[in-house]
Structure 1
Amino acid sequence: MRVAAGVFAPGHLGELTQFIPFEMVDEILAATRRTQQRIRLLPARVTVYLVLAGCLFAELGYPQVWRKLTAGLTGLDLAAPSSGTLREARRRLGSAPLQALFDPLRGPAVTTAKHAVRWRGLLLTAIDGTTMSVADAGKVRTRYRKQRGNHGGAGYPALRLSVLLTCGTRSIIDAAFDPTGTGELDQARTLARSLRAGMLLPADRNHAAADLIATLVATRADLLIRCKNGRRLPVITRYRDGSWLSTIGTVRVRVIDAQISVTTSDGTHTSGYRLVTTLLDAHRYPAGDLIRLYHRRWEIETAYLEIKSSILGGRVLRARTPDGIDQEIYALLTVYQVLRTAMTDATDSQPATSPDRASFTTALNAARDQITNAAGVLADTVIDLVGAIGRAVLAHLLPDRRIRVKTRMIKRSNSKYQARGPSIDRRSYKATIAVDIITNHCEASAGP
């Protein structure tokens, strides 16, 4: 057993501690002025790891999380704090150290699988928002409101979370969260602070507003945004691949219209796509390739699934104060990020293995086991770049992703009275995709 000494021993995250070492936590506590004035049974460093572990064991109360942290520390004389003591320690810590901890850990995960994260030299990113339910407590409701809806609205208040994500490794570059009164586009403007030249940002139709496009273009990142099929865009110049030069506001863009047909044994389904991009070189960035590339944007939905379903299990955030929610969100993002880093390190150890094949659930469960066993807290003299988490990931690699041919639908209704549509078809279909660029547009100019 190799852990910290004395009352600091429960302060660990199993093997993930190597990504968040004691020295990093101590420096952040000192920078945010949260280091304890005297050594308590629950030092501030231990409380940081307790909050992080609470995200990995979201189904457990904090006293049970404490027992997970100490389960592998046999033979040590450790405290058994009450739930009230643990709550007070989290309140003393506050959210500032967790926010400061997330900051150096965020960013694109380093990987040798350039094809997974880059396209023609551009770093593929994605941006989108989601909502998360928070505790229905009096202090929480002073900041977070319940969303309106049928039958009296939502049962819980909610917050809106938006992230800027790296495609391929699905590591988080930046994040913003606010009450739901703040829209996705406002959060996108905030996240623009982390866009850089050399990035390519696919985004959905909500992000096609002229003022937002101008804000994003000012970062020097390139854009690939879907817009409404009927949007009137002037034809300035026609390219050989069927796309044309146009303007949205003051920004010059290239417009691509296409029909995408997916054919399976169940028939053929066709839909129209209109994309606008700041990549104006049609020879270097062909329209057909951009249409095929756009679907990578959906990787951000998988990331939200991993956070909200795999980690949280669909549960409401446990914090019951606004500052506690800030603390929990930053802890959740930090845990997700280091898990993704461990997964990328694992797939990088096997050449030509795409990060997309790493199982998040496998990594999550392996990390939980390492915490319970208090294993891998400190690195051995011989550095293990893969580790127990990585070996579990490599032993259970996912198959290459299949083409998605079904539209979104609710698989399990919240109420038997709200169930709609036929039973779910869970069969797999072999599919082929055809992309046809539409070229017969009217040449008349129109306003943006």
Structure 2
Amino acid sequence: MTVAGGRFAPGHLGELTQLIPFEMVDEALSATRAVQSRLRDLPSRVVVYLVLAACLFPEVGYPGVWCKLTGALSGLPLATPTASALAQARRRIGAAPMRWLFGLLRGPAPTPHGSAARWRGLLVVAIDGTTLTVPDTPAVLTRFTKQAGNHGGTGYPQIRLLALVACGTRTLIDAVFGPTTAGETTYAPRLLPSLRPGMILLADRNFAAHKLITDISATGAHVLVRLKNGRRMPVLARYRDGSYLSVLGDLRVRVVDCEITITTAAGKHTGLYRLATTLIDHHRHPAAELTTLYHQRWEIETAYLELKSTILGGRVLRARTPEGIDQEIYALLVVYQLLRTAMADATNTQAGIDPDRAGFGIAWQTARDQIILAAGVFAGTVIDLAGTIGRHVLAGLLPARRLRVSPRIVKRAISKYQARGPRIDRTSYKATTSIDILTPALDNAPHPQTERPCH
């Protein structure tokens, strides 16, 4: 076991420290002018690691997190700060260092050539939003509000988090957050600078505003977005794969109307989907493949599940001030990114391993153990690309992804009375799926430079 010397000894994140080393944290503090003016019992570097470690131990208070960081450091002359001292130290560094660290660490994890993270050479990414619950304090309510509802709304204020996720590795490319008084499409333009040529962005119906899609297309990234089934889309030319040329505002798009049937032991369910894409060439990007590709949008839902359920355990955030909430959320995003990076590094060491098979819960629990043991803080003399976290992940690989479906239901009702009623089927079923591409009639309106309609 090797840690930093003197008062800096508690400043570590176990093996994850190798992904966020002392030099990186020191640079973040220097760049944001958050370095302590004099050496204290709680140096700023140690406080950064404390805030990050707290995201891995949401079930204990900050004094409990301090015990996790120092539990294996017996015999060293360590400080024993009070809860008040830890709170003052967190306020002293503020949110800026965490924001700086997230800005540095965000981005898609590297993947081998031919990985499932790419489709026909394009990096598959998704955009979507979720909400996080924050404490109900007067300070928090000056910035964040409670959601209205039929039964008095939520008991706690909430924030809206919008992220851009690499679907193959579920790493965070970028994220923004703020009050729920603004919608997802209001926050979405702030993520557009992180889009690049060579990406294809998957989005649900909420993001199908023609101006937003046009702005996304202007970044050089391609789009595959679901439209409302009743939306009027002119049919300007039909293609042999069943798709057709249309427009969103002034933007030329290709539209795929399809009928998807899911068959399980409980019966069949059929739904209509309408997808629009900026990939106009139907030879290079067939409609059937686009329909299958859109299913990967659910990877961002899984990422939010890992963030809110696995890491947070459904808990309310700790911070009781707006500045503290900013600090905590950026720390949470950093920790999630570190775990996902460690998992991608592990699966990259073995050819043919899909990152989907890496268990997030295994990585999370192993990282917690390494913090308690203060193990792996420094890399050893022998290069270990996987590390302890990676070895546990590889030893417990999940089975190859199977198609399963589960009823979409309210998992936690606001009111206990809403939860009453007939028994709800919560079973996950093995499923098979069939896709039928629907061919629309051709509109009479002429359009230049279109392929001759097929019959």
TM-score band, normalised by shorter chain: over 0.9
Where do 1:3-402 residues align within 5 Å? 3-112=3-112, 114-402=114-402
Distance 1:149 1:83 in 2: 36
Is the CA contact (8 Å cut-off) linking 2:406 and 2:429 kept in structure 1? no
Is the CA contact (8 Å cut-off) linking 1:113 and 1:354 kept in structure 2? no
Is the CA contact (8 Å cut-off) linking 2:145 and 2:158 kept in structure 1? yes
Q: 1:356 corresponds to which letter in structure 2?
A: D
- Structure 1 stretch 106-115 or stretch 425-434: which is displaced more? 425-434
Distance 2:411 2:179 in 1: 28
Q: 1:19 corresponds to which letter in structure 2?
A: L
Q: Alpha carbons of 1:34 and 1:427: their partners in 2 closer, same or farther (altered >3 Å)?
A: closer
Q: 2:443 corresponds to which letter in structure 1?
A: E
Q: What root-mean-square deviation, in Å, do the aligned CA atoms of Structure 1 and Structure 2 show? A: 1.6
Is the CA contact (8 Å cut-off) linking 1:233 and 1:445 kept in structure 2? no
Residue identity over aligned pairs, in percent, reads 63
Q: 1:283 corresponds to which letter in structure 2?
A: H
Is the CA contact (8 Å cut-off) linking 1:199 and 1:222 kept in structure 2? yes
1:419 corresponding residue in structure 2: 419
Q: Alpha carbons of 1:400 and 1:422: their partners in 2 closer, same or farther (altered >3 Å)?
A: farther
Is the CA contact (8 Å cut-off) linking 2:404 and 2:429 kept in structure 1? no
Q: CA deviation at 1:401?
A: 2.1
Q: Alpha carbons of 1:148 and 1:443: their partners in 2 closer, same or farther (altered >3 Å)?
A: same
Query: Does the residue aligned with 1:92 lie in a helix, a strand or coil?
Result: helix
Q: Alpha carbons of 1:412 and 1:319: their partners in 2 closer, same or farther (altered >3 Å)?
A: closer
Q: Alpha carbons of 1:417 and 1:109: their partners in 2 closer, same or farther (altered >3 Å)?
A: same
Q: 2:237 corresponds to which letter in structure 1?
A: T
Distance 1:201 1:22 in 2: 35
TM-superposition CA deviations, 1:254-303 (whole Å, max 9, x none): 01000001122322211100000000000000000000110100000000
Query: Does the residue aligned with 1:283 lie in a helix, a strand or coil?
Result: coil
Query: Does the residue aligned with 2:148 lie in a helix, a strand or coil?
Result: coil
How many aligned positions are there?
447
TM-score when normalising by structure 1: 0.97
Is the CA contact (8 Å cut-off) linking 2:154 and 2:414 kept in structure 1? no
Distance 1:201 1:421 in 2: 40
Q: Alpha carbons of 1:53 and 1:183: their partners in 2 closer, same or farther (altered >3 Å)?
A: same
Distance 2:38 2:405 in 1: 60
Q: 2:223 corresponds to which letter in structure 1?
A: L
Q: CA deviation at 1:242?
A: 1.0
Q: CA deviation at 1:404?
A: 2.7
Distance 1:50 1:114 in 2: 39
Q: CA deviation at 1:427?
A: 4.7
TM-superposition CA deviations, 1:313-369 (whole Å, max 9, x none): 111111011111110010000000000000011111121111001111110000000
Instruction: List runs of 5+ in structure 2 lacking aligned partners.
Output: 447-455
Distance 2:431 2:158 in 1: 38
Q: 1:202 corresponds to which letter in structure 2?
A: L
Q: CA deviation at 1:182?
A: 1.6
TM-superposition CA deviations, 1:89-128 (whole Å, max 9, x none): 0000000011001111000001216432100000000000
Q: Alpha carbons of 1:241 and 1:362: their partners in 2 closer, same or farther (altered >3 Å)?
A: same
Q: CA deviation at 1:414?
A: 5.0
- Structure 1 stretch 31-40 or stretch 13-22: which is displaced more? 31-40
Q: 1:17 corresponds to which letter in structure 2?
A: T
Query: Does the residue aligned with 2:295 lie in a helix, a strand or coil?
Result: helix
Query: Does the residue aligned with 1:150 lie in a helix, a strand or coil?
Result: coil
Q: 1:201 corresponds to which letter in structure 2?
A: L
